[in-house]
Chains A and B, each alone.
Chain A
Amino acid sequence: MEGIDVNAPGTTQLLMGNEAIARGALEGGVGFSSQYPGTPSSEILSVLAAVAKNMRIHTEWSVNEMVACEAAAGASFAGIPALSAMKQNGVNVCSDFLVNLIMTGIGTGGLVLVTGDDPSAISSSNEEDSRWICKWMDMPLLEPSTAQEAKDMVKWAFEISRLVDNPCFVRETTRLAHTRGKVVLGELPSERRTARFPDVWDMCKPAKSQFTSGPFGILHHKAHERLKRVVPLFEASAFNTYEGPEEAELLVITSGVCHLYCQEAVAMLGLGSRVGIFRLGTTWPLPEQAVRKQLERSSKVLFVEEIDAFTEGNVMEFAASLGASLPPKTYLGKRSGHIPSWGALGTDLVAQTLGAILNVPYKVAGRDASYSQGLGEAAKMVPPRAINLCPGCPHRGSYWIFKNALAIDGRHGLVAGDIGCYSLGFIGAGFFQERTMHCMGGGVGVANGLGNLKEFGFDQPVLAIAGDSTFFHACIPALVNGVYNKANFIFAILDNSATAMTGFQPHPGVGRAATGDPAPRVDMEALCRALGARVEVCDPFDLEDSTRTLLDMIADETGGARVLIMRRVCELVRGRRDKARPYNMRVNPSVCVGDACGCNRLCIRVFGCPGLIWDQEAGRAKIDEAICTGCGLCADICPQKAIEREAA
């Protein structure tokens, strides 16, 4: 199959939602793309980076979403179409810039912001509907339902952005981001723009030459006004569709992938003649006249959308503004409890809801009592598996060290956690050590508070943790704050040399750019030392030495914030690089005494590496050859020294 940079209009490719978005960006003439990785949107930049050289565009993994957004805006100021993608949390991170950007406008380039929202928080620390920011900040919002629409809408979004002189927002959700669909390609632009920041006194080219957010009163008003420019386009948009009878018993208003659930549910229940589906592709600003036309079809309206009641609220607000001119209606959705106000939706759920409202039994062919019974039996056959860190994960060693050191210290010390693979520290995978976990950089921030409570009798050691990528993303200001305000905490950077959780994207500490080219390596150790913090570097697999160092740092309360870098490359990165195990591991059956050990299966039950299993027949621990990565750590935790490592 051709790459997404092929210029073959009319041909079809099978693209993942994120790939389709990248293709749409190329068709829209994107010249600059910046992103911080975050599931479910990470692939957008990966895909663009892969074709960056061929397309002669700039792609970068930025240090965080705010910088990514600012960088993209800079390109747009200079006339280059720019795209910045993020997940819902990233929208929060860049919101302070955005709230100012909508005052200044975005110049002539065009700026598209794509957010991948994660209903049910499958890969997130929170569930959040990022669409609200569009209403807050006067940004047009598009919601694709399919990969084809994702591509087409992103291309269109550049034009919209230039029209309203503000960023245009495109919101996908996890299911669209990661499923594939057929996409008919459009044409790649042949024109190449030149970047130039407009000159102040160039009267011949009266382009805007200042992007400064003041005087804010006037600019805020102008932002409201600029948004209105898009209304005619949205009212006439083919992305807003209706299917169903002229007059419907029930009108469903939906957007995004929920459109597909609604179509499928109506078909399954045979309700095509009773239910109408109005799909909004241009969600904000609400195309009021188009909406009014649809509202007149039915006296009963059901809203189906993920996650919050965004469109539901907007439509009801609009309906209220119409007063008596709109006949009274029954509005069903999240407010009425017919649709859950959290979590991902699905066809089953929508079908059940439609069935309940219209009194149609929801029955799926082939799903009888034996189906449920079969499901139950199948469930029993699946071995129970706890959510866990990967075999060989350095974080397991780090958490083992934290657990032991804090227990040995004995003052009920705690780990203030952060966002990354190591977020699993709040469950057994991290021995339940993580006691706070919020946003990126939140752990070290919280530690600043806990670390300055001595006057109130607080003597618990505070250990903030964050990954290496998270360190660059959001931790540096809080660390500076800790040094400056003499907060008593240890900040452990779990440096596995990758943004592992989102797919091993490089970051400023690894010496490689998004395109794979060599890049300057930012030395986090030197950076922390330059702040004046005590810095120690340890190996999470050297349990003895690292525990001793951590205890020493805990005892040293004179220096305020201290930094402990737990450095070992992510096992998955190492495995790909080395293609071989460092050790061949075995449990020596003559040394392992099984349950006679008295340790009550510490190796399996507490340490919990998936590569260690229990041989029921032999009554001994055993290495699972298929899973073990040969990291060797378990040899150091076996009370009997029965686990042996042999250099591979």
Chain B
Amino acid sequence: METQAFASFRLRADVIDRGLCPLCGGCAAGCPYLGAQNGRIVQLDCCTLPEGSCYSNCPRTETDLGELSHSVFGEPFSPDDLGIVKGAYLAQATAPETRAAAGGGGVVAALLRFSLEHGAIDAIPGSGLDGEGHEGLRSRNLAASSRSAGAPTPVLLSDAASVVAHLSAQHRYARVLAAFNSIPKESSAKLGLACLPCQVASLRKRTGNHTGSRVDVRNVKILIAEFCATKRWLEPGEDRQAANKACSFCWDLTGELADLSVGSGRGQQDWNTVLVRTEGGRHAFEAARRGGALEAKPLPADSLAQEKKASRDKKRRAVRNLTALTGTKNDLAYLGTCPKVANALQGGA
């Protein structure tokens, strides 16, 4: 008798045990069988579902970048080093206190706060810290029971005054997807999110897959990717070595599937690099600019070149590591065997 390949077991075999898990938290958030703890995804129970969102939404299970690109941009996956970019800027929050809190340009906090204040979005799924009194959005996952005082906990921000502090905190990515998953399915609240590229991929993989109890991902009106940097901190006690190893298989430095991608200003103190990718992203960015929350100037050519090189290097490293993992030149593990994708990741070479 053939053994049924249950989704959570396949997740463990295909992703976690292979060292591919980037700890985005998408699988564990809301699943009673999986928990995120001590920098690992742990299987608490045997889930017998052959299909599960833990598997289908994982950024490290089979991912068709061409299809995702079509669903987000209506275009094929771009071979450009930075993906599809409709505008590249240096930008900053006009409020000095926002910049001070964020320790940089403060664009993400200022943009989402402005969008919230002006009704473009109603709420921001994010991360707070346990003990801060965030009632109502406690993780449904029992793994949360293991949290120590001060551990991240999912929150849903709708109070503009708290946005800057939350989106500037080191733990701001930790429970973003848990917070998203905790929103009632029937909610029609418009959402804005800032997260890491792997978390963006997890959310984008839900497009066209609205079954189950999760809120429709189309409620996300502004999806901001923060360039993946060393500041990432998803779980208390995270095994940095394991996480770094998993991240060596990641192709996406800048969050190419987001509406907007935001990075540090590359030496420009108090500024952020901003890549506008979608019309929605442009709309939100321009509205905040016009409204005085942000100021912006074109990204200098040398900075753009630096960003491109960094992104290109990451893609090539990912391709190299993935082919080494599979032992097959044309097999990029979770990115599939499509030569077009492989070519695009290597700049169309």
Contact = CB atoms under 8 A, between A and B. Distances in A.
A551 B147 CA distance: 10
B33 interface: yes
Nearest to A602: B32
A443 B12 CA distance: 31
A602 B45 contact: yes
Interface in B24-43: 30-33, 35, 37-38, 40, 42-43
A598 B49 CA distance: 8
A404 interface: yes
B243 interface: no
A404 B40 contact: no
A544 B53 CA distance: 25
Interface in B143-158: 143-148
B133 interface: no
A602 B143 contact: no
B46 A606 contact: yes
B44 interface: yes
Contacts, number: 79
B306 interface: no
Contact of B146 (A551, A597, A598, A639): A551
B145 A547 contact: yes
A404 B148 contact: no
A593 interface: yes
B37 A410 contact: yes
Interface string A39-66: 0000000000000000000000000000
Nearest to B142: A404
Interface in B1-54: 30-33, 35, 37-38, 40, 42-49, 52-53
B44 A408 contact: yes
A141 interface: no
B31 A599 contact: yes
A639 B32 contact: yes
Interface residues of B, number: 30
B145 A640 contact: no
Contacts of A227: none
Given A408-B44, A410-B38, A593-B213, A599 B143 contact: no
Contacts of A597: 212-213
Contacts of B35: 404, 407-408
Given A403-B44, A596-B213, A602 B33 contact: yes
B211 interface: yes
Given A544-B145, A593-B213, A600-B47, A408 B31 contact: no
Interface residues of A, number: 27
Contacts of B145: 404, 543-545, 547-548
Contacts of A404: 35, 44, 142-143, 145-146
B316 to A, nearest CB: 33
Contacts of B32: 599, 602, 637, 639
A408 B48 contact: no
Contacts of B147: 548
A431 interface: yes
A521 interface: no
A639 B45 CA distance: 13
A16 B299 CA distance: 93
B49 A408 contact: no
Contacts of B148: 548
Interface string A589-610: 0000100111110100110000
- Top 5 closest A-B pairs, CB basis? A544-B145, A547-B145, A408-B37, A598-B212, A600-B49
